[in-house]
Structure 1
């Protein structure tokens, strides 16, 4: 591990120690509830409003995505926006979102990503394992990508910045 990665990891560990638990929902004592948008159809029955294949996910300075699950429809273009809602620059708290092919070993991918600083932690040797990825973002930045997944399935997504994959991951369910 080079000196820059060690320094970034040290800063990250210190920051996590200071801010370790994040915000909790005071009503339940647990994680904040995800807001659900609803619309009324017919006789007062509420149904979820879904904008087909337009996805937004946030990463923060506490090294967390705001959701662990995204959903999309197979065979239709997907527009995905990653927003880094924190303030820390990407050199110390960079976030990206990498959608991996089914069956990709996240741990092995992350090890190779750690050494790929020159390509924003997207290893050239693993291009075949990647469906799509955003740019590496610092606090206050966002990136939107467009891609299509034709095959129904469950696809893992991760942040490939060194040390983040252990916490910043989830699934994209394509139906």
Structure 2
């Protein structure tokens, strides 16, 4: 009987992890933040709604960093990362605001040219979790974070000058996540 209950529990957890809706009532899922600003919201601020994610993670004038949040509902809180051309180096911090471990709901943020995104995703899935779902030495990858789980974060540095010659995208290469967790990288003045 205990083995039967354990199997049912594992199936429920697995389905909840693959679902686009957070599991109820076990633990409330974190909603994506309304903004991907580099600073944290005050502790007394109202929680973000489950409405559509913010349209752009825009850097403030002279700001050369942004934080992108990911959650247990397979979402980034933005669909556009705006990188200022004026920055000598731009930092992107990926923060997993969910609670699930990286084995079941891990996220990374991988930047590629738009035309390379699908190939990088497919090769990343084939590379597996020990390689953070990234093909080793893939020259199509401009920058990437490591694979992180709930409560973790990782920061990457991007040279804006290397993004001047095309259209760029970002994606999570964890299997099944790329269809929902992707967006555009835009250079701005």
- Same fold (TM > 0.5): yes
Q: Post-superposition shift, 1:33?
A: 6.8
Displacement of 1:88 in angstroms is 0.1
Higher relative contact order (CA 8 A, sep 6+): 1
Distance 1:30 1:87 in 2: 17
Are residues 1:158 and 2:160 paired? no
2:54–2:79 contact (8 Å) kept in structure 1: no
User: Size of the alignment, in residue pairs?
Assistant: 151
2:149 counterpart of 1:129? no
Higher strand share: 1
Q: Does 1:95 align with 2:77?
A: no
In structure 1, the gaps of 5 or more residues are 1-9, 37-47
User: Is the contact between residue 154 and residue 174 of structure 1 (CA under 8 Å) also seen in structure 2?
Assistant: no
Runs of 4+ that moved beyond 6 A? none
What is aligned with 2:182?
169
Provide closer, same or farther for how the CA distance between residues 132 and 49 of structure 1 changes in structure 2, counting only shifts above 3 A: closer
Q: Which residue of 2 aligns with 1:40?
A: none
Give the corresponding residue for 1:7.
none
Determine the C-alpha separation between the residues in 2 that align with 1:78 and 1:12: 36
Unpaired runs of at least 5, structure 2: 1-11, 24-28, 35-48
| Residue 19 of structure 1: aligned partner | 22
* Equivalences for residues 30-109 of structure 1 within 5 A: 31-32=51-52, 34=54, 49-74=60-85, 76-104=88-116, 106-109=117-120
Verify the 8 A CA contact 1:11 1:92 in the aligned structure 2: no
- Separation in 2 of the partners of 1:84 and 1:154? 26
After TM superposition, the score normalised by the length of structure 1 is: 0.72
CA distance in 1, matches of 2:135, 2:16: 27
- Partner Cα separation in structure 2 for residue 139 and residue 94 of structure 1: 8
C-alpha deviation, 1:139, in angstroms: 0.1
Q: Distance between the aligned counterparts of 2:120 and 2:75, measured in 1?
A: 19
SS in 2 for 1:92: helix
Is it true that 1:115 corresponds to 2:126 in the alignment? yes
Distance change (3 Å), C-alpha of 1:54 and 1:138: same
Task: Report the CA distance between 1:35 and its aligned residue.
Answer: 10
